[in-house]
Structure 1
Amino acid sequence: MRNLSDISGGNRKWRRESMTGFCRVGAQALKVALLVGVAAWPLELLAQTASVAVQPGTSAQTVASVSGTAEDAEPADIVVTGFRRSLQLANEQKRSADVVSDGISAEDIGKFPDQNLAESLQRITGVQITRSRGEGSSVSIRGLAPDFARTQYNGRTLGSGGSRSFDFTALSAEFVSAVEVAKSPTADMIEGGLAGTINVKTAHPLDIGKTSFNGTVEGVYEDNSKKLSPRVAGLANYVNASKTFGVNVGVAYEQRKYLAVSYEGYGAETGVEAQRNPPIDYNRDGDFGDTYTFNHAQAYQAFPGTRKRLSVVAAAQYKPTDDINVFADYFHSDFRDKGLWYENATRFTNIAPALPGRPYGVTASTIDTSLVPQLVSGSQGFITSMTATGLDHRASTFSQDSRKILNSYAAGFDITDGDMKVSGQASYFKSTTDSLNNGFATISRGVGTIAHPDGLGSPPQVTYGAGYDPLDPSTFFLLSQDFFGGRNSDRNYEGRLDAEYTIGDGFLKSLKAGLYYGDRQNTSVDVRSSANAATLARLSGGKLALVPNVEGASGAVNAGAILKPVSFDTKIPYYPGSYLVTDLNAYYGIIPYSTVIGAVPPQVVSGSGYDVGEQTMAAYVQAGFGSADGRLGGNLGVRYVTTQTVSNGLVPDLDGIIIEPGGVFTTVPTGVPTKVKGDYDYFLPSFNLKYELANDLIVRGALARVIGRPGLGSLSAGTSVNANVRSINSGNPALQPYLSDQADLSLEYYLPKQGLLSAAVFYKHLTNYIINGQVTQTLTAQLRGGGTQTLVFRRNQPLNLASADIKGAEIAAQIPLAYIGDAFDGFGMFGSFTYIDAPEVPQFEGGPNAPLNGVSKYNYNVGGYFEKYGLGLRGSYTYRSEYSSGDGNFFGDGSFVPAYGQLDASLSYQLTPAVSLSADVTNLLDALQKTENNFGLARIQSQIGRRITAGVHLRF
């Protein structure tokens, strides 16, 4: 691998380039302007046909509709509620913003449009989401991976461990008043949001303005599991009579009993026949000199589990005068995901005799040589079907338990003295994620065939023959019980001080300056232990008898007494009607959980963890300007940021690794402690301009230089090893941040009755793009129980090696159909479309070009609603085209998510002014989520099912 100091020095060239990249954006902006001009013409034409011309000085809320007269215009005091109100608030927020932005607003406290914030955000132009167990979990902006989107909570940093992205499953939507997505930065914004900044807002007590209580009681029904779970929330707000002091406290609890059913292929492994253990003649030509690629394993899985989330918010606010505002708030989230992982797997990477002298080997195979150009260099073809004797067949159960606890505290003030306003805020958050899982290496050897009747893009069909019964528990042996998990701790201290001076009525409106300090520490450790068959036989008191020489010298215990059949109803092709898994109740009836974990307590895995510290200081100046008539406005500023990192880790002796025969876990010897420092500093200029071309027609432009910091785990000084998939992964503390010189241009037409038409184009020139440096390394591993095995590993280390230009366009519309006529009053449509043009870059050094991670070329959402007479109906369909997930997987053959669309719907009824009823359906069409590799081999197909939430909302 290359020297880290060389990488660090090479990435210092920005000092010499100075502002060259930023100026380049100005030239690109001319192209952008031309594009938006083309887009603007049909928008303006559509606007003119949709509404009457708005005269100067006339409010958009009082203009007459096309079908009526001035007497039919909306009165100024008309009350808009429900989803229409949330659209209206979002439009007002977008219109008044100083930057290119979008947002979602709640109609009232506890009435955010969706239960999951990420699900709401996907309706914003240019925003895409990924899901975990059917819930929106991470957010991408303009196609860039979630790590490029900075998430804030009331303006301060919010993290959820390890990655720069935020896991939205930890955050309840019950208390959120608005979510803003800023796509162009200003100098006063905390840096790091290369794709954009997401700011989650909750209402302070005096913002609510009255003593009140809002509560929700709902049931959550999972279609796959057929289980009903509770979802309750309440927020109490107190404001004194003089409205100078207020406090509020909110508590929300949600439970989901889900069932996810899936197929997983582990990726295209390339193996040399002679290097298999024992050697395998894949093409049956009588020698062991060939090299072929095949699916490492195919597994049919089910994940029954329960998610519980407790959220608590609290805030206090004191405002004795309009010029003094002092506040404090607290956010707590306790998210637990606990369940089982049933797996029926066949592993063609492991074909061997169960006992010495038993037959094994490939008896038939079909090889596709047309895929050779897409395979790893040296491979002679992909094995599309194979029949084998001595096939590794697993009947496994894994017990999974993870818990994420997040606490965030903040206190601040705003003081205005004449034309001077000073604001300050100090905050702290800590997120801790603990997990401890255990599983069983339960194996049988038989005769099996894998084939792809529907092509490589579909899950394979696995059949058995020659008298082998996959449902006969007596043929299975337990090799070991393995414990694995770890802890990730992410904490951050943050403080900022801002001062703004309002100048007056001239062109220069204001001057603003500020300081920022952040101190973040992220630590991660993996823990693991394993009880082999001899240990399990001893702990069972003879109830599980050790059978010597099964699957190697360590032996195994017969698993017949601890297996049970399971079956699941699913749409996934070739999913087995039933299969065997480990029966945990039966097993722990023989060996209690406390007994086995007490015998082999999990230990920290040497070299796998990391400890990364990051200290950031920043200062900025920013000028606000505008014309006397208020039609022109904007800001110009520069932010200077300096960052220092310290990475601590362990570098192990890789010649001492130990692997389990037939197992999937690797033991790495204790490593040598190491500490590596890094640093970088940048000037980040920004320019935002807004101009009102005509009443309710606004054009915006923005130029900026933005950074996106590497993932905290990527800065690790440690090394981890996985012998099962032949990979060695090292961090790189000398990584520099991604750098983007970017331009934005947008046009917005605000129509009456909460209508909106908008178009935007954007351009990003990315440098310092991080990809994996990759080399091969041969190691001799020790086999637990005796013997050695020579293995060829793929060694990975992240490096700043690439650059990329990303261009795109967005259009959005909100159209109340009252424009057509009074008969359509209450009906409306909304939608957006995003096109992203991104280059291909290699996923590893020297590898073939692949699409930029996370970028879908086409993204759109479309929906409609009806709200009148207290009744609300809404449906929305979101779609994103294929994208690379950024996971090159274990064997470097890519990981791509095919196009996916999902339909959601909701129904509500205002029973009384204080009581409303609601029902929501997520994934109405029961769409499957899929992943495949770079030549179309199915890697994942997952069925999460529909989720129905219904209940009552109370407001007093």
Structure 2
Amino acid sequence: MMGLSDFKARPLKTAFLLGVAAWPLSAIAQTAPSTTQADTPVAETDDPAASSEIVVTGFRRSLQLANEQKRNADVVSDGISAEDIGKFPDQNLAESLQRITGVQITRNRGEGSSVSIRGLAPDFARTQYNGRTLGSGGSRSFDFTTLSAEFVSAVEVAKSPTADMIEGGLAGTINVKTAHPLDIGKTSFNGTVEGVYEDNPKKLSPRVAGLANYVNASKTFGINVGVAYEQRKYLSLNYQGYGAETGTEGQRNPPVDYNRDGDFGDTYTFNHAQAYQAYPGTRKRLSIIGTVQYKPTDNVNVFADYFHSDFRDKNLWYENATRFTNIAPSLPGQPYGVTASTIDTGLVPQLVAGSQGFLTSMSATGLDHRASTFSQDSRKILNSYAGGFDVTDGDMKVSGQASYFKSTTRNLNNGFATISRGIGTITHPDGLGSPPKVTYGTGYDPIDPSTFYLLSQDFFGGRNSDRNYEGRLDAEYTVEGSFLKSLKAGLYYGDRQNTAVDTRSSANATTLARLSGGRLAFVPGFEGASGAVRATDILKPISFDTKIPNYPASYLVTDLAAYYAIIPYATVIGAVPPQDVSGTGYDVGERTMAAYAQAGFGSADGRLGGNLGIRYVSTQTVSNGLVPDLNGIIIEPGGVFTTVPTGVPTKVKGDYEYFLPSFNVKYELTDALLARGALARVVGRPGLGSLSAGTSVNANVRSINSGNPGLQPYLSDQADLSLEYYLPKQGLLSAAVFYKHLTNYIIDGQVTQTLTAQLRGGGTQTIVFRRNQPLNLSSADIKGAEVAAQIPLAYLGGTFDGLGVFGSFTYIDAPKVPQFQGGPNVPLNDVSKYNYNVGGYFEKYGIGLRGSYTYRSRFTGGDANYFGDGAFTPAYGQLDASASYQITPAMSLSADVTNLLDAVQQTKNNFGLTRIYSQIGRRITAGVHVRF
């Protein structure tokens, strides 16, 4: 943990945050109570006949609000707005954001989880909640699966910065906004009750939400409380190839003659493992918000708000796996080895140094066949508190905010290393771009539990804590009657700390036999000196209906009920309680002080406007970690789990400071046509985990990973230019071009390191590892263009009234850079060159229909994976649809379908070998929304 001497200016932090919190109290004390009404909100009507104005509702209302937000912004930006409380266009914020130009998303279990902006990885997108920092772990990116959309009034994506914006959003800043009580303007209640049906498991789960808002008669005080609960019972079906490993025959344990030439000196590339997987699971998300607002006069506004998220994901991980890398006798003297193989000598050598070819098919005796089962339980709890004020005195406005958030993630998983030594053949009948086919030889039944043995029960997991104190104070002076419109200045202080540690323990076969009281028979000498227990009574067959090619009709998994009837969970974990793993943890602290000055300007006719400013940022970091002696690592039988000896405590400090100028200008060429331009220098900080002083080891995939506390932030000098044409009836046409010059780009420094590992139970194994450490080694230029359109078809006449189309297209030109030191140039991570979405809607007579298709072209996850063989995600498109019906002004029905066409997601390596093939299925949500 951090000590008092680790950072400078701690007294300044305390005084600053106390000053921010206390400043408005004196202003309120000097302000006499007022009976003046707060600003009257725009009149609402649920009955179009009751007003002569045209009332825009539904999705069209959402587009209208977003267009107004875009037009009034001081920067190049886009956004999405809710038409009403509880009626955000999508149930997942990331799914909505993907319809914004320049935004791409990645999905987790079928839900949008992380957001990329303009071709940069999610870590470059800064996420804020009502203007303050929001985090969800050691990454700079935010996990949107933890945030319910029920209470969100708008999401703004600022693509160019101003000096008063908190730095760090090199790609852009996403600000999630919720409505304060006096913004809603009346005492009300909005509620939603829905069912969520998942197509793969064919199960229904609840989704409920409610927001109660109270405003007093004088509209000077308000309070609201919202609660949302959602459950998802999902089933993800996958094929996973663990990557193309290159190894020398003699370095296998025991040696394997892959080409059957009688020696063990050849080097080949092969798929480390092919695994068919199923993840049945349940996600539960509880979100709570609360806001108190006091506005005694038009000039004083004080507020405090709270946000809580509790997200839990529990699933089973069933895996049927075979491994090229581990061919051996189950007991001494039994036969093993390759009986036939096919080697492509032209596919790999030009891509992998030293390889003589790729094993495209193989038959073997003693083939490693796993019936693995893992129980996974992850829980993330986030709490965010804030208090702030706005005080206006004549031409002077002073505002401040102090906030705190803490995100805590805990996960504890346990797995069963259940293995059989089979007779099998692995082929690629549909080519490397499709999952392989595994068939079994005469005399071996893959679903006969009597051939399987349990080596160990392993517990593994970890903890991550991410917390941040933050405060800011801003003052703005409005200038009347001149080209200079305003002067603004402010201070900012942030104090963030991220800690993480892995935990692990293992109950070997000897321990399991003892705990079972002999009900699990011990087999000495199986898989080496550790032995095993027979798994005959603890396995069961399962089967799934899936479109994944070559997925097995059925396979064996651990029957948890049968197993825990023999050895209760509490008994086994009590015998081997999980312990912190030396060398894997880190403790990173980061403190930032910033000051800025900004001037706003504009012409007398209001057509020209903009701002010019500069921000000064000073950051100090302290990283604590453990550096272990890697000569003492221990690996389990089969090489799946790695134990690292206790490391030496290490502390490393760092600091940097920058001046960040920014310039934004907009000009109304006509009443409908607006041009914008922006220039800025922006920083993007490394991931907090990348600043770790520790080291982790994975003997199974032969990698060593170290952090680098000395990393400097990314820098971007960037320019934006856009045109926006605002049509009547909520229409919009827009186009933009952008350019970013990145320096200090971080890539992996990579070397090989040979270690002799101890085998648990006796013996040693020599392993060649790839050692990775992030370094500031590169630069890159990114440029692109965006176009978007929202066109109501009412222009074509009354027949088309209520119909509309919308869409956007983004082109990103990103360079190729090495992913590791000395490596070949490959495309920049997470960049899809082409991204588009297109959709249409109909809203009339209380009926609302909407469909949208989103697409992103191929992109890479980088070479810095298990074996450096690349990870490319092919082009992916997804169709979503929704329908609603307004029964009464106070009640509506809705239904949404996510992934209507049941699209599958894939990942491939450098030469087309399938790494991931995943089917999550359709998700249907339907229910009722009420308000009164």
Q: Compute the TM-score of the two structures, normalised by the length of structure 2.
A: 0.94
| Alpha-carbon displacement from aligned partner over 1:251-281 (angstroms, at most 9, x marks no partner) | 0000000000000000000010111111111
Q: CA RMSD in A?
A: 0.8
Residue number in structure 2 paired with 1:680: 656
Partners of 2:511 and 2:61 lie apart in 1 by 64
Residue number in structure 2 paired with 1:665: 641
Residue number in structure 1 paired with 2:455: 479
Q: Does 1:707 align with 2:674?
A: no
Residue number in structure 2 paired with 1:174: 150
| Alpha-carbon displacement from aligned partner over 1:493-525 (angstroms, at most 9, x marks no partner) | 000000000011211100000000000000001
Partners of 2:375 and 2:97 lie apart in 1 by 33
Partners of 2:309 and 2:734 lie apart in 1 by 36
Q: Does 1:741 align with 2:717?
A: yes
Please give the secondary structure, in 2, of the residue aligned with 1:387.
Answer: strand
Residue number in structure 1 paired with 2:38: none
Please give the secondary structure, in 2, of the residue aligned with 1:619.
Answer: strand
| Alpha-carbon displacement from aligned partner over 1:372-398 (angstroms, at most 9, x marks no partner) | 345321111111111111100000110
Matching residue's letter, 2:496: R
Please give the secondary structure, in 2, of the residue aligned with 1:89.
Answer: helix
Partners of 1:376 and 1:944 lie apart in 2 by 33
| Alpha-carbon displacement from aligned partner over 1:73-129 (angstroms, at most 9, x marks no partner) | xx9821100000000000000000000000000000000001000000011011111
Question: Aligned runs of 1:399-478 on 2, under 5 Å?
Answer: 399-478=375-454
Q: Does 1:551 align with 2:524?
A: no
Residue number in structure 2 paired with 1:322: 298
| Alpha-carbon displacement from aligned partner over 1:189-242 (angstroms, at most 9, x marks no partner) | 000000000000000000000000000000000000100000000000000000
Partners of 2:777 and 2:67 lie apart in 1 by 41
Question: Aligned runs of 1:327-338 on 2, under 5 Å?
Answer: 327-338=303-314
Query: In the alignment, which of 71, 80, 86 is matched to residue 110 of structure 1?
Result: 86
Q: Does 1:287 align with 2:263?
A: yes
Please give the secondary structure, in 2, of the residue aligned with 1:372.
Answer: coil
Partners of 2:515 and 2:400 lie apart in 1 by 60
Native 8 Å contact 1:122 1:129 kept in 2: yes
Partners of 1:202 and 1:115 lie apart in 2 by 15
Query: In the alignment, which of 779, 795, 799 is matched to residue 755 of structure 2?
Result: 779
Matching residue's letter, 1:881: S
Post-superposition offset of 1:534 = 0.4
Native 8 Å contact 1:441 1:663 kept in 2: no
Distance 1:337 1:887, change over 3 A: farther
Residue number in structure 2 paired with 1:156: 132
Native 8 Å contact 1:293 1:375 kept in 2: no
Partners of 1:802 and 1:841 lie apart in 2 by 7
Q: Does 1:588 align with 2:564?
A: yes
Residue number in structure 1 paired with 2:905: 929
Residue number in structure 2 paired with 1:17: none
Post-superposition offset of 1:466 = 2.8
Question: Aligned runs of 1:12-411 on 2, under 5 Å?
Answer: 77-411=53-387
Residue number in structure 1 paired with 2:27: none
Question: Aligned runs of 1:717-732 on 2, under 5 Å?
Answer: 717-732=693-708
Post-superposition offset of 1:369 = 1.6
Matching residue's letter, 2:153: S
Please give the secondary structure, in 2, of the residue aligned with 1:732.
Answer: coil
Native 8 Å contact 1:699 1:745 kept in 2: yes
Native 8 Å contact 2:748 2:864 kept in 1: no
Native 8 Å contact 2:748 2:774 kept in 1: yes
Please give the secondary structure, in 2, of the residue aligned with 1:88.
Answer: helix
| Alpha-carbon displacement from aligned partner over 1:686-728 (angstroms, at most 9, x marks no partner) | 0001000111100000000001000000000000000111100
Partners of 1:640 and 1:362 lie apart in 2 by 64
Question: Aligned runs of 1:571-586 on 2, under 5 Å?
Answer: 571-586=547-562
Post-superposition offset of 1:246 = 0.1
Matching residue's letter, 1:208: I
Residue number in structure 2 paired with 1:951: 927
Matching residue's letter, 2:909: N
Partners of 1:847 and 1:372 lie apart in 2 by 16
Partners of 1:458 and 1:756 lie apart in 2 by 43
Please give the secondary structure, in 1, of the residue aligned with 2:669.
Answer: strand
Partners of 2:662 and 2:746 lie apart in 1 by 24
Partners of 2:480 and 2:342 lie apart in 1 by 80
Residue number in structure 2 paired with 1:828: 804
Residue number in structure 2 paired with 1:768: 744
Native 8 Å contact 2:863 2:869 kept in 1: no
Query: In the alignment, which of 700, 712, 716 is matched to residue 692 of structure 2?
Result: 716
| Alpha-carbon displacement from aligned partner over 1:917-937 (angstroms, at most 9, x marks no partner) | 000000000000111111111
Say which is worse superposed, 227-236 or 927-936, in terms of deviation. Answer: 927-936
Say which is worse superposed, 522-531 or 929-938, in terms of deviation. Answer: 929-938
Query: In the alignment, which of 675, 696, 717 is matched to residue 672 of structure 2?
Result: 696
Give ranges in structure 1 of 5+ residues lacking alignment: 1-74
Q: Compute the TM-score of the two structures, normalised by the length of structure 1.
A: 0.92
Partners of 2:332 and 2:205 lie apart in 1 by 52
Partners of 1:926 and 1:577 lie apart in 2 by 21
Native 8 Å contact 1:82 1:107 kept in 2: yes
Partners of 1:806 and 1:201 lie apart in 2 by 29
Q: Which 4+ residue blocks in structure 1 deviate beyond 3 angstroms? A: none
Matching residue's letter, 1:655: N
Residue number in structure 2 paired with 1:878: 854
The total of aligned residue pairs comes to: 882
Post-superposition offset of 1:886 = 3.7
Query: In the alignment, which of 578, 601, 605 is matched to residue 581 of structure 2?
Result: 605
Matching residue's letter, 1:907: A
Please give the secondary structure, in 2, of the residue aligned with 1:662.
Answer: helix
Partners of 2:720 and 2:143 lie apart in 1 by 27
Please give the secondary structure, in 1, of the residue aligned with 2:253.
Answer: coil
Matching residue's letter, 1:246: G
Post-superposition offset of 1:634 = 0.3
Partners of 2:864 and 2:367 lie apart in 1 by 27
Post-superposition offset of 1:663 = 4.2
| Alpha-carbon displacement from aligned partner over 1:641-700 (angstroms, at most 9, x marks no partner) | 010000000000100000012140000010000000011110000000100011110000
Residue number in structure 2 paired with 1:57: none
Post-superposition offset of 1:286 = 1.2
Residue number in structure 2 paired with 1:628: 604
Query: In the alignment, which of 788, 806, 809 is matched to residue 782 of structure 2?
Result: 806
Partners of 2:76 and 2:862 lie apart in 1 by 27
Partners of 1:603 and 1:371 lie apart in 2 by 44
Residue number in structure 1 paired with 2:18: none
Query: In the alignment, which of 495, 498, 509 is matched to residue 522 of structure 1?
Result: 498
Give ranges in structure 2 of 5+ residues lacking alignment: 1-50
Native 8 Å contact 2:732 2:791 kept in 1: yes
Question: Aligned runs of 1:841-852 on 2, under 5 Å?
Answer: 841-852=817-828
Post-superposition offset of 1:459 = 0.3
Counting aligned pairs with the same residue, the percent is 88
Partners of 2:715 and 2:62 lie apart in 1 by 35
Partners of 2:127 and 2:269 lie apart in 1 by 41
Partners of 1:271 and 1:902 lie apart in 2 by 39
Partners of 1:118 and 1:374 lie apart in 2 by 40
Native 8 Å contact 2:63 2:730 kept in 1: yes
| Alpha-carbon displacement from aligned partner over 1:12-51 (angstroms, at most 9, x marks no partner) | xxxxxxxxxxxxxxxxxxxxxxxxxxxxxxxxxxxxxxxx
